[in-house]
Amino acid sequence: MATTERDGNKIARHLRDAILRLQYRPGQNLDEAELSEALGVSRTPVREAIIQLVADGLVVRDGRKARVSPLDLDDVPKLYDALLISSRMVQRLAAKNRTEDDLSSIKKMLMRFENVTEATSGVERSEANLEFHFAISRAAGNKYFQAFYDQVLIDTIRLARVCFSDQLSPNADSVSSLSAHLEETVRQHRLILAAIEDADADTADELAVLHHKLTTERIKKVLFSGVFDDKQLQLGS
């Protein structure tokens, strides 16, 4: 990998993408020596990258070892309860506190998501969706709610990646289902932006509930549709 000796940011982006693509599976050890050899860099940028990924919640420390954060299906309901509460508060605050710069950023991220809805990469779609919601989080103007909400989003991104992907379910019905889901997501994103732009906190709150329902229904459909084989259900321990 072409990079400067201490460019941990580039290594972090590379590893983050690999984790989201499930190339590094939940619970898998990340050996600094092996990674530095595979990427053609010293251990220093790899170590810096792992520190960043730990801060993002995608990697955990186990003593001196690092491993990809496990996904515990028993925690999914708790995770999405946290997402519901935090997204409602963040969208209410964004409607009250947003600036013109905030609105410009949200619109930019909305267009980015719409532009990649036809992309074949589930990672690209989920990343664009994440950035749209991060823009709303910044507009809320409350660093405490933002930190909580952003961490919940990070914790849901791997599940979201799977649920935005058509690679695990190539049959026509699944592709059609994904297309309908993305179409409704775009529609709701536009309504959320309009509510925030109109400083309508109550509508922004209601739309957060509606958007949460769309997300959780998609996840339930994918998790219980039988598209995962036994290997894919090994989510770490």
The CA angle 35-39-43, to the nearest 5 degrees, is: 55
Average pLDDT over residues 117-140: 86
Query: Is 93 part of a structural domain of the chain?
Result: yes
The whole model's pTM is what?
Answer: 0.76
55-85 pLDDT per residue, tens? 888 899 988 899 998 877 778 889 999 999 9
153-209 pLDDT per residue, tens? 888 877 766 555 544 444 544 667 888 889 999 999 999 999 999 999 999 999 999
Query: Amino acid identity of 66?
Result: A
Residue 17 structural domain: 8-68
Question: Do residues 189 and 85 both lie within one domain?
Answer: yes
Q: Which residues contact 215 (CB under 8 A, 6 or more apart)?
A: 80, 83, 160, 163
Query: Is 150 part of a structural domain of the chain?
Result: yes
Question: Do residues 79 and 118 both lie within one domain?
Answer: yes
